Amino acid sequence: MQIVSYNLNGIRAAHKKGLVDWLAQYQPTVLCVQETKATENDFNTALLTQLGYHVYWFAAQKKGYSGVAIFTKEKPLEVTHGNGFEQSNAEGRVITAFYKNFALVNAYFPSGTSGDERQTYKYQWLNEMQEYITQLQQKQPNIVLVGDYNIAHTDIDIHDPKGNKNSSGFLPEEKAWMTQFLNSGWVDSFRLLHPEQTGAYTWWSQRFPTVRAQNKGWRIDYICTTKAFAAAVKTAGILPDVKHSDHCPIFITL
């Protein structure tokens, strides 16, 4: 089973850049997308069902904002929308699919780049999300948590750690949250298999058009598993040459 996670920065914009053609060629078992910026009615989902995917969508209440979706060839036993917290649910940030042997959580973590208010909410959301997945573990100890975490964890996850030490996404409090999250019983699948790899990024700023070609990026997209399920991860990687967004896809095979 291959699981791909991809922040699309707008599914309609990504489609215009060939997303569905790429999906038809690549054919992962599951594609989890973040930042759809659309409702299910805004997109021709027949393009996905024709490829054999079941479509599960969770849009934000605000138009053209946030939103997550799961496209899966293997039909889940159950799908739940949200994480039980009102603001997060209004912003369409979490969708969970339950399979026979594990739960798959697809999440779009908030960004704090627009100012102090959103940075404060980001910290609140991180704590709420950890509460949600801790409760989920009581039901299903095998969990895969994919998504755009909007945090670069360590110096090797960002091209310029010194220059970005005061940037949202690389703040000490955010890195500390990520450290304690992993220490609480979670495994970063990419680092499990590629512990020292540098230059492995998943997002490049659009403010500077040349940075992607120069690979001046951040690794802020992750597929983490509970320790109980980490042994099931056979491969993990990043697809930086796939370009439908300012992010690129990441994947694991189970």
Residues noted as catalytic:
148
The per-residue DSSP string of 49-102 comes to HTTT-EEEEE--SSTTS--EEEEESS--SEEEES-S-HHHHHTT-EEEEE-SS-
Tokens for 228?
Answer: 């109980």
Q: Find out whether 208 and 167 touch, Cβ atoms under 8 Å.
A: no
Strand order in the sheet with 143-148: 78-81, 94-98, 103-108, 143-148, 221-226, 186-188
- 64: number of Cβ within 10 Å: 14
